[in-house]
Amino acid sequence: MNTAGHSTAKAPRGLELTPFRGLRYDPDRVGSLAAVTSPPYDVVVRPDGLHHLQSADPHNIVRLILPEADTPEARNAQAADTLRRWRAEGILTADPAPCLYVYEQRDGKGLVQRGIIGALRVSDPDERLVLPHEDVMPHIVADRADLMRATSANLEPLLLTYRGEGDDGGDGSATVTAALIERAAEQRPLLATTTEDGFHHRLWSVTDPADLTAIQRELAGHQALIADGHHRWATYRRLRAEHPSPGPWDHGLVLLVDTARYPLRVRAIHRLLHDLPVADALASLDGLFRVRRLDAPLAEAMDALGEAASTGNAFLLAGDGVFHLVDRPDPDLLARTVPADRPAAWRTLDATVLHATLLDHVWRVPDSPAHIAYIHDTAATVEKAERDGGTAVLMHPVHEDVVRDLARQGVTMPRKSTSFGPKPASGLVLRALDL
């Protein structure tokens, strides 16, 4: 029986987080838990990263979230067959009772992030409960929807944030959910593993009815911001509309993190312009931006970008063996190219200026996968640009408060504007819709 939709708490129509029977790897049936995990599907740098993960263990989660075959239909059928086989063979087994999960990540350098994994009711945009801050690309939503339909599963959790001291400011006091998370973290975990990026992961189950009710009641008073997973949330909404309600498609797998207690890191997502050589990109900027060549290593160049971005729009171009700091755009150029019908905080975003001014107007590069790749790793973006003869556009991150403020105004940022983290590892807990 699927428990999603049968809440143990009579909560108001707010965030509704429901226990579920998690599907998890049997540690005795795989080489190691670390070897079967993966970053989220859109962080894996294909094909190098995909093949690396596939070779780590024959049961790595990428065989479900990024299946390989000649056609989309064959890929999705392969993922569905793989999931059925792994369940039948006991590679993946369901936990005995519905629960919420406390999830912890540590990086060994002082960063600790803890949150709650559960099945969240999929709400409509006009409810203002789950706030997006970026636009989505329809072809990616369609791709994820096809995969979820084929597998009838949520294969990896979205990352959502909320402010535990109260979305209206609150008094900053400790919350019931925070206390339950801290108490769980003192117990023996269901699993513990360290992935190759150095992060330590631990997972606990929360099954006590009183604890579940307390968490649900508290979360019912909050909004959530989508930190990572806009396309999967849009997919949840599409699939909910396609299926009868009530039913398992009314809910989707999420990780909720209280950023009042555990602030996330916000990093930029960089762009790789496939068909634009650096020399051509720079020539187009003459008289429109200030351009300075930096003969410096990547770390120093990124520091220079951060300093320039503190006073205005700035970008770092790479691909020809050196770095080029691009800043101080011509005000008249911005006035002509940046839409004026949005808040000032949106009009001055680096991502806004990049897309509205540079990509659309100066470079005339279409925002499509054939022309632009979005890459999280800075060094990988530079290496690919140098290898392929394109231009890497390195970005400086936006502060979380700016993102949340725009989202509450209903204003979405250009897609792939931010990368919140640490992101939950894929493969630690899945949600099969037939459980």
Q: Note the pLDDT tens digit of each residue in 184-238.
A: 999 999 999 999 889 999 999 999 999 999 999 999 989 999 999 999 999 999 9
User: What mean pLDDT value characterizes the chain?
Assistant: 91
- Categorize the per-residue pLDDT at 45 as very low, low, confident or very high, splitting at 50, 70 and 90: low
Taking the C-alpha atoms of residue 131 and residue 170, their distance in angstroms, rounded to an integer, is: 20
Q: Note the pLDDT tens digit of each residue in 301-327.
A: 999 999 999 999 999 999 999 999 999
Q: What average pLDDT score do residues 231-256 get?
A: 96
Q: CB burial class (10 A; 0-12, 13-18, 19+) of residue 204? A: buried
pLDDT over 90 percentage in the chain: 76
**68 touches 75 (CB < 8 A):** yes
Do β-strands 224-228 and 130-131 pair in parallel, antiparallel, or remain unpaired?
A: parallel
Tokens 């060094």 belong to which residue? 379
Helix axes 298-309, 378-388, angle to 10 degrees: 110
More confident residue, 342 or 194: 194
Q: Could you write out the DSSP letters of every residue in 280-312?
A: HHHHTTTTTSEEEEE-S-HHHHHHHHHHHHTSS
Question: Which of 290, 269, 301, 317 is CA-nearest to residue 413?
Answer: 269
Q: Note the pLDDT tens digit of each residue in 80-134.
A: 999 999 999 999 999 999 999 999 999 988 899 999 999 999 999 989 999 998 8
Q: What is the pLDDT of residue 177?
A: 93
Q: Note the pLDDT tens digit of each residue in 387-403.
A: 999 999 999 998 878 88
Q: Note the pLDDT tens digit of each residue in 408-428.
A: 888 888 778 888 889 999 999
Question: Which of 181, 216, 156, 162 is CA-nearest to residue 8?
Answer: 216
Element (H, E) at 81: helix 72-89
- Categorize the per-residue pLDDT at 171 as very low, low, confident or very high, splitting at 50, 70 and 90: very low
Query: Cis ω on the peptide bond leading into residue 27 (within 30° of 0)?
Result: no
Taking the C-alpha atoms of residue 323 and residue 302, their distance in angstroms, rounded to an integer, is: 9
Helices (H), 103-227: 138-151, 176-184, 209-219
Q: How far is CA 33 from CA 28, 36, 194, 203, 250, in A?
A: 9, 5, 8, 12, 30
